Amino acid sequence: MHRISIRTSRRCDIVDITPFIRTFLREIGAESGTVTVFCPHTTAGLTVNENADPDVRRDLTTFLNRTIPQEAGYAHSEGNSDAHIKSTLTNSAQLLIVEGGEVMLGTWQGLFFMEYDGPRSREIWLQFTGTHGTAD
């Protein structure tokens, strides 16, 4: 298992972690298989979405904050109930196909870490299952 560290800068932040995944696969000489990407935090998540237009990230954050506001009379006493709800919607893990040493994403897709209770230092866990070639 490999760990990557992320530092978010806002309460709700979206970080493109696709380059981290590509670097990891290259460093271990991954050839063909799958990479599991796991977020071990209850107030953050992972999603695959468009990575070409930054307005998509802004729209996602705006929608989630409008739909699930920070203050809405939640019972949880820590003041981050909205973050727990949002993380449930975006999942804690993604399983991605690896072929020819590359993560297989659509033309416009990227993998994003979704922060809902920042800013914080976070960790993402990666595990590759499959065949290895030679690392460059």
Number of domains in the chain: 1
> Of 34, 35, 30, whose CA–CA distance to 4 is shortest?
35
Q: Report the pLDDT averaged over residues 56-82.
A: 90
Domain that holds residue 24: 2-132
Q: Tell me, what amino acid is at 51?
A: N
Give the pair of three-digit tokens for residue 125.
């866990």
pLDDT tens digits, residue range 8-30? Answer: 999 999 999 999 999 999 999 99
Could you give the CA distance from residue 42 to residue 62 in angstroms, rounded to a whole number?
A: 20
The whole model's pTM is what?
0.92
Residue 123: partners with Cβ closer than 8 Å, 6 or more residues away: 3, 4, 5, 6, 40, 41
Per-residue pLDDT at 18: 98
Instruction: Assign 87 a pLDDT band (cuts: 50, 70, 90).
Output: very high
Per the CB < 8 A criterion, the answer to whether 14 and 114 are in contact is: yes
Could you give the CA distance from residue 73 to residue 55 in angstroms, rounded to a whole number?
A: 30
Q: How far is CA 5 from CA 8, 64, 115, in A?
A: 10, 24, 13
Length of the chain: 136
Per-residue pLDDT at 73: 86
Could you give the CA distance from residue 43 to residue 49 in angstroms, rounded to a whole number?
A: 19
> Of 120, 108, 103, whose CA–CA distance to 54 is shortest?
108
User: What CATH number has the domain bearing residue 22?
Assistant: 2.60.120.460
**How much is the mean pLDDT over the chain?**
94
Per the CB < 8 A criterion, the answer to whether 64 and 12 are in contact is: yes
